[in-house]
Amino acid sequence: MAIPFSLKPFEPVSNLVISGRVVRAQSSLTVEYTLTGAVEDLKLPPTDSKTPSRRDHLWENTCFEVFIGIPDSSRYWEVNASPNGNWNVYRFDDYRQAMVAEPACSKIASTWQPLTKGYYLTLELPTDDWLAIDQPLELGISTVIKTDSVSHWALDHTGQEPDFHRRDSFSLAV
């Protein structure tokens, strides 16, 4: 079953819309983002000649993110996907604590496609090696959009500053 979502900017942005849907299968999580509006202003990370790979600091450019929490647990994961295909999955033991690249996740697949007036990104995350198949999840879906400035988009902004790590913003149950 697909669950639709719509992201909100932390500060008003009138010329972009970010929406999508989440599909949870038995051994994977798929998140689809659609970005429409003034996409000509986007500053996209360069496409390098190497095969897309696990990279750090993707959030310093335009980046699509999913935060995955387990109810009643402080542990959570941060998934980053760049339009150029690079990615990473980090595990945290608690709020911004003990960040490590998740060793059980060795690959994710993402596809970045131009649309007539926008872009579409699909992020397919195999979860069978690090999340139980029947485990309920709480998701925080977000993006960092870089133009001449930086905007932070999320399902919910629950703090005084943009902070995608806040567990009270992991508001999509799957």
Summarised one tens digit per residue, pLDDT across range 6-52 is 999 999 988 999 999 999 998 899 999 999 998 998 899 887 767 88
Taken in order 82, 33, 139, 27, the sign of the CA dihedral is negative
Per-residue pLDDT, 41:
87
Half-sphere exposure at residue 105, Cβ-oriented, CA atoms within 13 angstroms: 25
pLDDT tens, residue by residue, 47-102: 776 788 999 999 999 999 999 999 999 999 999 999 999 999 999 999 999 999 99
Per-residue pLDDT, 49:
63
Domains of the chain listed by start with CATH number: 2-113+135-173 (2.60.40.1190)
Q: Indicate the pTM of the whole model.
A: 0.94
Per-residue pLDDT, 26:
84
Per-residue pLDDT, 45:
87
Asked if residues 151 and 164 have their Cβ atoms less than 8 Å apart, the reply is: no
pLDDT tens, residue by residue, 114-167: 998 999 999 999 998 888 888 899 999 999 999 989 999 999 999 999 999 999
Per-residue pLDDT, 112:
93
Residue from 105, 173, 103, 98 nearest 135 by CA: 173
The burial class, CB within 10 Å (0-12 / 13-18 / 19+), for 163 is middle
The burial class, CB within 10 Å (0-12 / 13-18 / 19+), for 117 is exposed
